[in-house]
Structure 1
Amino acid sequence: MNILRRLAARVPRLSTLASFGAIQAAQMVLPLLALPYLSRVLGPGPFGTTLYMLTVSAVAAMCVEWGFALGAVREVAVLREDPVALGRAVGDILSAKCLLAVACAVLAVAGWLALSPARQHPWGYALAVANGITLGFNPLWFYQGMGAGVARVAAWEVGGGLAVLLLMLPLVRQPEHWTRYLLLLLLVRAGGYGWLTARIFRQLGPHAGGMRLVDGWRALRATRHLFLAHLGAMAKTHGAPLLLGGVLPARDMGMLIACDKMARGLVSLTMPVTLTLFPELCAARSHGCGGSLLRRTLAWAAVIMGAGAVGVWWLAPWLVTLALGREYAEAAPLLRWLCPLLVLLPLNCVLGTLGLVPRGRERVLTLAIGISALAGLAVAIPLAGMFGAVAGAWLSTGMEGIICAILFVVMYRVDPGLLRIPFRRSRS
């Protein structure tokens, strides 16, 4: 009976883990499957431009997302038993996202004036910005906070990603067709997120709150501290590529961004575990425990991802040729320089998201990300001028290394037993 009870208790957790795994695969892995086809059909120039525009989309999405990936989930989870307050909160969050979408569109005009790829390809740039705004309206925050419906989001993400891959084959067949890929992404995402958002209002029924700009502004102010961390992460991940795009040729940018996507796509496979463990560690910290679980997670992340980094370094020439084609073989050194990301990114996630945030020390995480981003952006253009595309790989690994060093020092001061890594179960 005890075994059956344990299994029953773990079923919802395993279901959530599987759903988050499917979402991560749809958002990170499925787009990687498009790279071999696009790199061969489009050629180096249009392929590099396409990946640059996808970076623009990611920046726009992070602007609209603001900091609600954590703040909105927390608010919905707290109010899930109060339909009236929940409906009001949902209306406030969507109002805030509408404000952010308008601000993003205004900033996009400034970006069009400042970025030479945007001026050269205005239609592709417009599609990229629209894609990002649409991504920012992903309603996963509601279903995650409610603790139900994540599987529905996962099903749509996987189905939409597969639809893009299948439709891409007949529609993108020439180098000049690269904007059609962006259009496919926009249409599929807009349809899916629109449908999922409509289901939210049907679920809330008469309790659905109205959307007012004043309430949206109030929601933005309430989550401004989370946004600072979000802004630092955005600058760290996408700011340097945007700057480098104005200095490096499209071919070099395409190889750099493709290798970066390959590395981060592999790391994304660990995110479902993080998303599942986060509420467990928050609950454990409220009872004064959870340290042993954090140490085991840190140890296994270092061991498993360290072995993965060695494997990717060894197989880099073969992986690049397989993913991008023989004409991109010179990108193998870039992928090797990015191998430390396979270790640094999971460690930063464990130390920051699972270690500091449950302890209420998210400001340290914000500070670490901000220091790293400022350091990287300050040297991005000079390094690119001296060393070319390899400077972009150095920047990515260097910025994550700075964050890892800061977080490790802080966590060691908070928990001096951090280095006592238990690989066996503990009662704590």
Structure 2
Amino acid sequence: MRKNLVALYGVQVATLVLPLLSIPFLARVLGPSALGELAAIQSLFATLGFLIEYGFGLSATRQVAIHRDSRSELTKIFSNVLGGKLLLSVLFLLVSLAVYIFIPVFRSHPLLFWLGFLGALFQGFNLMWFYQGIEKLPRAASIDISLKFGYTALVLLLVRSPNDVALVIMLQGLSSLLSLIINTWRALPHIEHLRITLGGSLSALKDGRSMFLFRAVSTFYTNANTALLRLFVPAATVAQYSTAERLTGISSSALWPIMQVFFPRLSYLVHHDFSAAQALFRKTFVIIVGVSTLAAIFGFFSAPKIIKFIFGDQFISAVPLFQILIFNLPIIAISQLFGLQWMIPNQMERTFNKIIAAAAVCNLISVVLIVPKFGAMGMAWGVVASEIIVTTSMIASVLKSSKSPFKVTRPNTFTGG
């Protein structure tokens, strides 16, 4: 677990912190308008990418963790998930085409749009779910880190003007493609001959459908906001919001490797040693809540200096947005603990998905009613309100259930919540 945790933190550094080496550069070279267009495309395909990921990062990881000692079962899971992703890529293409045809804002930059499409397609087939399940992340993570270092270096070397926005997206997609090719080749010794069938592919989709609903809804109300904001405000304003959102995302995602490492372990312990799973959850809860609260306080008071240093004076309007969004740091941490780390391993998917769906509805209402009048500030407060609803509902659902991590007796059944 320690090795996997170190590996995942390496991936997080490459994914979120390494861009901080290029973002100040891009902010100055591209300017607010071009950077806003870039952020909108990235937000759009981060949202649509859930169609291929489908929730396999949770459902398939759980299955791999349970059957990690059986090569035949791993082969079956791997083949079925790959087949499912191939089917979903067709849906991804059709939805992307509909967005391109019917939303003029995204149709105005066709090269950016389709480069973003390809990058999301490659990323959707990544194999981190498999390596997380078998708890063999270090080598896969090192490959991902190396490629992201290369991407950052090329951005710093090649991007010279606002006209190079397409180059940024192309390099990002190339990094995802190379990572996919290398890690797929490395996964082959862990499995037997692939056996992709329509029946198996549909079975994988059926197994992951509850997680798909979670991914679809949660992705919408977390990743889609920048793209939705572009429908109501100029690209330069989108750049201010995306700047604050990205910094908040970096802060929040700093805790995600701990979540990813403990998820397969909790999935295993819930079925084999429930009291140990409860103890592990309680220890993790104390650490995560304490660290996230301190980080939020630090981020709030240091926001003016941080944003001015990283992005320059052109992005000073992002300061109040960041100070609002940073409140989400401990809120998201708690919701992930009670939701992903406890409700999902304990097969409370039904209740979990209802909570996420309610939050998405609240987020959509805020976009429609608040954003047209209050712009980026309205979006920021709407996001915080949605997260509060999620977290409060998850805590209440877990504590009143027979599967609470704070009760000393093991539940007799694992029926859906």
- With normalisation by structure 2, the TM-score equals 0.92
CA RMSD of aligned residues (A): 2.0
Match of 2:413 in 1: none
Per the TM alignment, residue 283 of structure 1 is displaced from its structure 2 partner at its CA by 4.1
Which letter maps to 1:44?
P
Per the TM alignment, residue 414 of structure 1 is displaced from its structure 2 partner at its CA by 2.9
Which letter maps to 2:299?
V
Structure 1 distance, partners of 2:207, 2:341, is 22
Per the TM alignment, residue 163 of structure 1 is displaced from its structure 2 partner at its CA by 0.4
Match of 1:114 in 2: 102
Contact 1:45 1:250 survives alignment (8 Å): yes
Q: 1:293 to 1:92 in 2, by over 3 A?
A: closer
Match of 2:63 in 1: 75
Contact 1:320 1:329 survives alignment (8 Å): yes
Per the TM alignment, residue 76 of structure 1 is displaced from its structure 2 partner at its CA by 2.5
Alignment of 1:285-296 (within 5 A): 285-286=270-271, 287-289=273-275, 290-296=277-283
Structure 1 residues 253-298: Cα deviation after superposition (integer angstroms, max 9, x where no partner): 1111121111111111111211222234334434331434433432
Q: 1:172 to 1:133 in 2, by over 3 A?
A: same
Per the TM alignment, residue 203 of structure 1 is displaced from its structure 2 partner at its CA by 4.4
Alignment of 1:122-271 (within 5 A): 122-148=110-136, 150-204=137-191, 207-271=192-256
Per the TM alignment, residue 416 of structure 1 is displaced from its structure 2 partner at its CA by 10
Structure 2 distance, partners of 1:298, 1:398, is 22
Alignment of 1:248-327 (within 5 A): 248-286=233-271, 287-289=273-275, 290-327=277-314
Is residue 2:396 matched to residue 1:403?
Answer: no
Alignment of 1:30-49 (within 5 A): 30-49=18-37
Match of 1:383 in 2: 370
Q: 1:221 to 1:285 in 2, by over 3 A?
A: closer
Unaligned 5+ runs, structure 1: 1-12, 421-428
Structure 1 distance, partners of 2:403, 2:270, is 16
Q: 1:84 to 1:285 in 2, by over 3 A?
A: closer
Per the TM alignment, residue 413 of structure 1 is displaced from its structure 2 partner at its CA by 1.5
Structure 2 distance, partners of 1:267, 1:212, is 39
Contact 2:52 2:121 survives alignment (8 Å): yes
Structure 2 distance, partners of 1:222, 1:271, is 24
Structure 1 distance, partners of 2:143, 2:65, is 22
Which letter maps to 1:317?
P
Structure 2 distance, partners of 1:402, 1:209, is 43
Contact 1:317 1:329 survives alignment (8 Å): yes
Which letter maps to 1:265?
I
Q: 1:33 to 1:369 in 2, by over 3 A?
A: farther
Residue 209 of structure 1 aligns to a residue whose secondary structure is coil
Q: 1:359 to 1:238 in 2, by over 3 A?
A: same
Contact 2:132 2:260 survives alignment (8 Å): no
Q: 1:110 to 1:23 in 2, by over 3 A?
A: same
Q: Of 331, 352, 360, which residue of structure 2 is paired with 1:365? A: 352
Q: 1:285 to 1:196 in 2, by over 3 A?
A: closer
Per the TM alignment, residue 356 of structure 1 is displaced from its structure 2 partner at its CA by 1.8
Match of 1:347 in 2: 334
Which letter maps to 2:374?
F
Alignment of 1:78-117 (within 5 A): 78-117=66-105
Structure 2 distance, partners of 1:131, 1:115, is 20
Q: 1:153 to 1:248 in 2, by over 3 A?
A: same
Report sequence identity in percent: 24
Structure 1 residues 285-341: Cα deviation after superposition (integer angstroms, max 9, x where no partner): 343314344334323333321121111111111111112111111110000111111
Structure 2 distance, partners of 1:257, 1:168, is 19
- With normalisation by structure 1, the TM-score equals 0.89
Structure 1 distance, partners of 2:69, 2:98, is 43
Which letter maps to 1:285?
V
Residue 355 of structure 2 aligns to a residue whose secondary structure is helix
Q: 1:117 to 1:178 in 2, by over 3 A?
A: same
Structure 2 distance, partners of 1:183, 1:299, is 41
